[in-house]
Structure 1
Amino acid sequence: MIPCFLNLGTGELIIIFVVIILLFGAKRIPELARSMGKGISMFKHGMNEAVNQVNEPAADPGKPDGTTPRHTATDDSPSTPDTPAK
């Protein structure tokens, strides 16, 4: 089903524009358009944030920074006595 607002002709758009001018006045139209643009951009920003939060992988509660512990060479080396064997 095609939405009805796509079937507006030039005459209908002119009538709508004239009604808007009569309701709000010519001086307020740029202000209304500016605030409407800001609202749309804020809505898009909020939608992008929501999508990013959903797409982020959940952090493992055992590893808060997401890294695994590393072993150093001193941890893996066998222990040797300091004194020589007799």
Structure 2
Amino acid sequence: MYLFIGGPEVIIILLIVVMVFGADKIPEIARGLGKGMAQIRNATDDIKREINNSAKDAGLDTDVTKDIKKTIDDAKEDIDKMTGPIKRMK
């Protein structure tokens, strides 16, 4: 599942939540958590957008990470080509 939590653990956590908050408050809590997560996601997207716009306005190259990722992927492919026969010998 998620974070090494299995089905029985999730059920126990849900039972505890129902006992502590009551069944009528759970939708309210879930709604509030959803709104909070959406606000955080929107804020991080706005920050990323602002950083990218500032970098473009300053004339900086924003595709540096793409170049680095391509170099890393090429290196991985080269290593796989070199170690391919060794892995098959196992």
Please, what TM-score do these two structures have when normalized by structure 2? 0.57
Instruction: Indicate the RMSD between aligned Cα atoms, in angstroms.
Output: 1.4
2:27 aligned to which of 30, 46, 52: 30
Q: Percent identity?
A: 35
Aligned to 2:36: 39
In 2, the alpha carbon distance for the partners of 1:26 and 1:44 equals 28
Report which of the two has the higher share of helix.
2
Q: Which runs of 4+ in 1 moved over 3 A?
A: none
Unaligned runs of 5+ in 1: 60-86
Please, what TM-score do these two structures have when normalized by structure 1? 0.59
Unaligned runs of 5+ in 2: 59-90
Q: Larger Rg: 1 or 2?
A: 1
